[in-house]
């Protein structure tokens, strides 16, 4: 095993991305300050002011009204609140159907499965194409089967594994034709695409801090004023009585600061990342000509920082380990059970067979990515794939 851990190359920004210096500064400053935003005294009012200013900042970034921002502990909680909460709020005997895709993040996928197993819901899985995208007419047909029975629709804005950007506003419009609430998980989209809640037409939208340079542990469900999900967490009645729990003032402020910095740089950054990504794709295909780029072609249908390949004849976890030993961090992009990589449910839903789904890797770029990172991968990927192939052939 050769190893080079001196200059780590981080190609896993979709898992989490470094906190921006501005966010670290804001958070550390706030950590030293006192106050529960729900308290009525001066210290409480000071903290409340920070939370509300952050809420306004986030609302501006994501095209929402401040009152539409409901703080949560992150993306998973926001997805749970949207899917379960909207289902419960709409359930009245006949509205049992929950429409979603089979390429969702597990936070949505497993919430829907739980509703089905434990809450009498009926999951309707919208078919995606080989690029991972769901067509609006597929949604229309699924709702039209029994419009009165549909409780809610949830389709992610951009896919966390293969970077597919869904036609969210068209999908939301279809749902609204039938008066059905529409949720979208925009966790991966928020750092790289212009995510505008009002323009999207969604009723609920999930974002989280740590994918755009904020801290882990702060996220939000942006929720149209009319939408009233049944709470998942009960308690002190914070956040419109929808999400109880003491607000994390330092993390919320850092989340907002990061989002604002991210938004300011987004257009230029998206262009820069797309160019880097194209270079990465080029270098990988040059070194491994039979590698397959999964997901849509580079362009508006794909997240600019995402590249996802299947390497025929390889196992993803062997590739990951060999790259790790070379100081390169990436992901098999799939869920783990006790650390065992399962074949990606996203690739399987896109029609890939089991071996193609197992032999895949995700490289994701972010705000600290450079050409050096891409070149470092290009330098070793050929040899790593050769070696992983020999191991798999045994």
226, 297, 300, 339: residue in contact with other proteins (rule CB under 8 A): 339
Residue 1 in contact with residue 325, Cβ under 8 Å? yes
Which H/E stretch holds residue 222? strand 219-223
Q: Give the one residue of 195, 223, 341, 346 binding other proteins; rule: CB under 8 A.
A: 341
Backbone phi and psi for residue 364, each to the nearest 5 degrees, phi listed first: -125, 130
Per the listing, tokens 């950590």 go with 31
Span of 43-51, 207-215, 261-269, 332-340 interacting with other proteins by CB under 8 A: 332-340
Q: What is the dihedral of CA 278, 126, 135, 156, to 10 degrees?
A: -50
d(C-alpha 306, C-alpha 13), whole Å = 9
- 336-337 and 340-341 beta bridge pairing: antiparallel
Please identify, using beta-carbon distances, which residue of 211 and 358 lies nearer to other proteins. 358
Site membership for other proteins, residue 325 (CB under 8 A): yes
Tell me the closest approach of the beta carbon of residue 391 to other proteins, in angstroms.
Answer: 4
Interface with other proteins, residue 324, by CB under 8 A: yes
The reply to whether 318 sits near other proteins by the rule CB under 8 A is: yes
How far apart CA 185 and CA 89 sit, in angstroms, is 19
Binding residue for other proteins (CB under 8 A) from 155, 322, 330, 380? 322
The window from 57-65, 126-134, 141-149, 314-322 that contacts other proteins (CB under 8 A) reads 314-322
Between 254 and 341, CB nearer to other proteins: 341
The rounded distance, in Å, linking the Cα atoms of 202 and 196 is 9
Q: How far is the CB of 373 from other proteins (least distance, A)?
A: 20
State the DSSP code for 208: E
336 is catalytic: yes
Restricting to residues 369-388, which ones interact with other proteins according to CB under 8 A? 387-388
Q: How far apart are CA 52 and CA 252, in angstroms?
A: 10
Looking at the Cβ atoms of 111 and 326, the one nearer to other proteins is 326
Residue 117 as a binder of other proteins (CB under 8 A): the answer is: no
Helix (H) or strand (E) holding 157: none
Residues 37, 249 contacting (CB under 8 angstroms):
yes
List all residues 6 or more positions away from 267 whose beta carbon is below 8 Å from its beta carbon: 194
| 337 near other proteins, judged by CB under 8 A | yes
Furthest-apart CA pair in the chain: how many Å? 69
Per rule CB under 8 A, is residue 3 in the interface with other proteins? yes
Contact residue for other proteins among 317, 346, 357, 362 (CB under 8 A): 317
Q: Is 6 in the site for other proteins (CB under 8 A)?
A: no
Provide the binding-site residues for other proteins, judged by CB under 8 A: 1-3, 317-318, 321-322, 324-325, 337-341, 387-388, 390-391, 393-394
Q: Which active-site residues does the annotation give?
A: 336
């Amino acid at each position: 095993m050769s190893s080079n851990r001196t200059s780590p190359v981080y190609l896993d920004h979709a898992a989490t991305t470094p906190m921006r210096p501005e966010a670290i500064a804001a958070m550390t400053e706030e950590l030293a300050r006192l106050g529960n935003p729900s308290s009525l005294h001066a210290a409480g009012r000071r903290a409340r002011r920070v939370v509300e200013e952050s809420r306004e900042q986030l609302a501006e970034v994501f095209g929402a009204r401040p009152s539409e921002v409901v703080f949560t502990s992150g993306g998973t909680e926001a997805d749970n609140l949207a899917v379960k909460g909207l289902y419960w709020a709409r359930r009245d005997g006949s509205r049992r159907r929950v429409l979603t895709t089979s390429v969702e993040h597990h936070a949505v996928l497993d919430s829907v499965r739980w509703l089905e197993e434990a809450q009498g819901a009926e999951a309707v899985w919208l078919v995606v194409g080989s690029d991972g995208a769901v067509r609006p007419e597929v949604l229309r047909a699924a709702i039209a089967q029994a419009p009165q029975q549909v409780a809610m629709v949830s389709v992610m804005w951009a896919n966390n594994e293969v970077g597919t950007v869904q036609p969210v506003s068209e999908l939301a419009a279809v749902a609204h034709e039938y008066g059905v609430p529409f949720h979208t998980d925009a966790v991966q989209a928020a750092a790289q695409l212009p995510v505008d809640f009002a323009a999207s037409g969604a009723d609920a939208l999930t974002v989280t801090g740590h994918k755009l340079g904020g801290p882990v542990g702060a996220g939000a469900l942006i929720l149209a004023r009319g939408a009233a999900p049944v709470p998942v967490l009960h308690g002190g009645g914070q956040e419109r009585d929808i999400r109880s729990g003491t607000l994390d003032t330092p993390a919320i402020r850092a989340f907002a600061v990061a989002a604002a910095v991210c938004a300011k740089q987004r257009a230029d950054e998206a262009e820069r990342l797309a160019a880097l990504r194209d270079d990465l794709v080029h270098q990988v295909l040059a070194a491994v000509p039979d590698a397959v780029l999964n997901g849509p072609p580079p362009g508006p249908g794909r997240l600019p920082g995402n590249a996802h390949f299947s390497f025929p004849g390889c196992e993803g976890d062997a590739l990951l380990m060999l790259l790790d030993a070379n100081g390169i961090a990436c992901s098999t992009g799939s869920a783990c059970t006790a650390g065992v990589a399962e074949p990606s449910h996203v690739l399987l839903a896109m029609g890939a067979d089991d071996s193609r789904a197992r032999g895949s890797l995700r490289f994701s770029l972010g705000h600290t990515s450079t050409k050096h990172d891409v070149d470092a991968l290009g330098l070793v990927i050929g040899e790593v794939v050769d070696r992983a192939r020999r191991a798999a052939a045994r």
